[in-house]
Each structure stands twice: as C-alpha cells, then as structure tokens.
Structure 1
C-alpha cells in the first residue's frame, strides 16, 4: 500500500530546502522500498540545489545512504525484506557494451526505479542520482541495493554510497596504487581524504596530502598521509618532486577538479606516472597543454567515475575492512544531524568545515556519543 513519509526537496534553483510529505508507491517489478537509517550530505546534493546538474526540479535530495529493505517488487531475486543495504547509483544493467566487455564498473545504462515518488499534489520528484534518500523511506531499483554486514553503523556505511567510495576507488581501482608506490592527493575534502585512506590501505609507502588549509592537512595525516603541503606558501609541483627524490609521485590524484590543480597533477607526477581526476569540473573549465608534453611525459591520464567501483564487489569488502578496524569510515562522520538541518549542513560544506554531516533518520542507528549539530 502506498505510503506518505517526510523528505527533503529542492523546489527551485537556490531556494531553501523544504521538509515535505512525499508519496512513496509500492515497489513494482524490479524495485524495492528501503527504510533509510542514515544519509550523508554530499556536495552533489548542493549542486542539485544550485541547478548545476540540471533543472528537473523539484529534486528529492540525498543519496549516500544505508538502510533496511522494507519490501520488494515482482521478479526481485537475492534481496528480501530485512536485508541491510547501502544504496548505490550504479545498478549495472549487464547488457550494455561496457558490461558485455566485462567492465561493468563503466556500465552505460544503469537502472533506476521506473515509478516516481511524488508530492501530495501529484508533482513528480526527481531523486538525486536516482536515489533520493533524505527521506524516511525511498523507492529504488533493486540493483541499487547492495547487501553488507549489518554490524556496520549506518552513518558510516552509507558514505560508501558516493564520496568515500569515489576517493577510495580513485586510488585503488582507477589509480591502481600498489605496495611501495608514492602518491600525492590534491584537495583534502571528503573525497581527497578517502583517496588518502585508500592509498594507505593499498600499501603506498609515501602519501603526500596537498591543500590550502592546515586543518584539512591535519585530518589527512590522521588518515594516512606521510607528508603534507600547504600550497598557499609552497609550489605543489616542486614540493611533490622534492619529497620523491626529484622525480614526482607514481600517482597524483586531483580531488579538486580545476584546470590549475589538474596541471599540478600532470606536471608533478613522475615520468610515465598516472594522473587521476576525481574532482568534478564545471562545464566552462578548459585545459590547454603542449601536445609534446603529453607525449613526452608518457604514463596515464585517467578520470575516475564513482571510483570505478562495482558496488556488489567493493561495498561488502570495504565494510569487512571497516569492521576489522582497517578502514576508518567513522573518521569521515564529522557530525550527525536531524533531517531538518540539511541547509545548515550545506553551509558547512561551503565553508569546508566538515568531511561529512550525516542525516540520521533512525535514532536507533545513531552513535551513542553523537550530539546533533556538533562534531562527532
């Protein structure tokens, strides 16, 4: 039976978000309804509010979420009510050219729910990244639900749904960071910090964190950075070379996504080294380089989409590492907040004050020592 629940929408460009009543239909074929326990506040949600992703308002915001499957539709296999899941926005189709070539992490035809959630007047909502999880219960494609160990705390586990996975995957999957490699990460927000944690997990011997703020660099050190560079006072290219015997790191990850930071990555890496772009540029940004430099420096210039992850492969593995104490997902949860505090969380994102604010919708999932609105 269709349900009415509370959720957070952006009704128009740059307008304050609204907590409203939303109609959630019963799951149809291939769909599932998930009770959301926690959902991270990501920069992508702010981009939706700003109209930077599209103008298909109103948007149902939120996408970095973990929760419990409440019901499933016809034809759904390997998923049932009561399953603990992380939501993902890459529900692979299995039939597109990328999937047929054995590269499902590039799936070009990912699934979303067919039915629409609506406002009480019938207005259809556009769910952020096909998920929409600042809501008590959400409707998704069953393939967007990845089962993981229920011992994992929802506020931490849900972050694998987007930003943390993007950073970890940029290092491990796209950059192929291996034991003994040297790595530099430009930009130490949530995604860059995750790339540092991923590089450490992969066994990198030297991890250089580069940012404009000492506070972020201190956090980077706690997550595995062996060296830090404040680029307000030091040329980051020169610093990368100086810290690697004059050569430059094997892998440089640009978690900012601006022409100047990408050029720093390009010229700062070692010969035949790898550049990974995981920060998202705006449509207006361009880069101009001498083609001879592209040829002469060799190596690989890569973009990382969602950390080139395959959720069914990567999420359970990373949650196991978290539960073993080898992946510090809790360190990314700066604060736990209520569903009515999303706009305040956006202001903290703008100010670079948090790695992640996490909306907790199920109080039983909150960390016992978490205080709403304060650093956790």
Structure 2
C-alpha cells in the first residue's frame, strides 16, 4: 500500500509499505477523510527528533476493514472516528486518567510518533473498542473528522481545568483548538468566559462559540483577564479527571 511518510527531518514522500494486520483487540481502518495538523509540520521539522519513513497523520475517519477476534463494538463496514490519542488502556497512567502518558511520556500519542500514522491506504488502531467511535448516520465524514483532534483536545482542556459551574475562565488564543476550549467551557457551565484573541475573524467566532468577553492583547491592558475579574484568584480544589477507560464520546 502507499503511505505518505516523513523520510527524515525536513523530507517527506510516498513509501510502499505492507498493509497492517490487526491483533486480537485491534482494528484496521481505511481512511476516508483526514486532516493535516500543525503537529505534522512540526514533526517533519524535527520537533520530536529523527524519524525514518514513519507514516504521518493522526486525524482521520474511515471505514473498518478488518477486526481482531477480541473486538466487540465494531465490525467491517462500520464508519468510525479514531482519536488522535490512542493509549493502551491497561497502562497505569491511562487507568489513572492520563491517557496521553500511556506507558511513557506522550506514549498515548502513537500515530506518527511511535507508530505509523493515518496518511495511508490503511492504518492500525490498537485497543479499538476504546479508541474509536461510531459515526452516526446523519453526520458526514467531513464533519466527523474534526472530532478526532480539534474538538476532543479543546473539550479535554476544559474538563481538565476543573471549571466550576458559574466560574470564570480565560482561554488564550482562539484558533480551532482554542475555540473548542471556549465551547467546552460553556458546556461545562462556566459563568464568564474570557477569550483572548487579536484576529477580528477569530474574535467573532469566539463570541459565536460562547465567549462573554473578548480581549485583544495588542490593545490596552486594562481589559486583560485579571482586570476583568478585579484581580480575583480562584479558590478551591482541582477536580480529579474522569478515569473511565471507555470509548470516545
């Protein structure tokens, strides 16, 4: 099969590779839509060190091609979204609510880091029952692919921030992930959401996704987050993250 790879730092290209095989708890997926993340660009630039002919990409949706004998929730032909973070859910870190640190630092980030990614004719998904989700019939592949990283990363940030109902939160930068953090804060019940952003189009999107105040950091500092909250600091304890090893929502 053909795969789009990082050949070495600063060099990319197509490579002929063997089609991956599923282990007992794994699936093989044929991607239908995928996105390029800024992390892919950083990887090629050498941000995580040398990689030789590793398949790039970690944001994809597709169709299940084959399943391992132990997989219960999926079968060939299912349309699925695959999380950018695919931990080994039996690891201590994942069981304790830190799936991105599965077995090692950033060990839950496997695609295009410690194993081949999704920019290929087929790709491998470990612990498929927990690392994939069915795409509802009314949701297009084009829409579902944004769940795999941008939406899940922003929502996860809001969850891990432990935002109390009615609390105040500032979200710095309103790019795709920042916007999803803003929306996640809204869904978590934040009382006041302050978006920090200087680009007018992103400022408008921040308000659309739930920001109550938009601060342009290039202008007067009087309306910076500390000023808007009268200097108040949060008092309380941090919420413990949810520790379930269940599938993506």
Report the 3-state secondary structure (helix = DSSP H, G, I; strand = E; otherwise coil) of the residue aligned with 2:157: helix
TM-score normalised by L of structure 2: 0.82
Greater share of residues in helix:
1
Q: 2:195 and 2:186 mapped to 1: Cα distance? A: 12
Contact 1:207 1:224 in 2 (8 A): yes
Cα distance change on mapping 1:150 and 1:311 into 2, 3 Å: farther
2:121 equivalent in structure 1: 136
Instruction: Give the TM-score normalised by structure 1.
Output: 0.56
Corresponding residue for residue 149 of structure 2? 162
How do 1:110-125 residues align onto structure 2 when only pairs under 5 Å count?
Answer: none
Pairwise CA RMSD of aligned residues?
3.1
CA-to-aligned-CA distance 1:177-196 (integer Å, 9 cap, x gap)? 24322211011112211100
Q: Give 1:143-222 correspondences, 5 Å limit.
A: 143=128, 145-151=131-137, 152-171=139-158, 173-222=159-208
| Aligned positions, number | 242
Post-superposition Cα deviations, 1:150-193, rounded to whole Å, max 9, x if no partner, equal 3222222222222321111111x201224322211011112211
Change in CA separation of 1:45 and 1:160 when aligned onto 2, cut-off 3 Å: same
2:66 alignment counterpart: 71
Indicate the residue corresponding to 2:102 in structure 1: 108
Separation in 1, partners of 2:245, 2:59: 13
- Show the 5 A alignment for 1:75-114: 75-88=70-83, 89-96=85-92, 99=95, 102-103=96-97, 105=99, 108-109=102-103
Corresponding residue for residue 41 of structure 1: 36
Structure 2 unaligned runs (5+)?
Answer: none
In the TM superposition, residue 50 of structure 1 has moved relative to its aligned partner by: 0.8
SS at match of 1:70: strand
Pair 178,225 (structure 1): closer, same or farther in 2 beyond 3 Å: same
**Structure 1 portions without partners, runs of 5+:** 114-125, 249-269, 274-298, 317-376
Q: How far 1:308 moved relative to its partner? A: 7.7
User: Could you say if the C-alpha distance between residues 136 and 159 of structure 1 is closer, same or farther in structure 2, counting changes exceeding 3 Å?
Assistant: same
- SS at 2:8's partner residue? coil
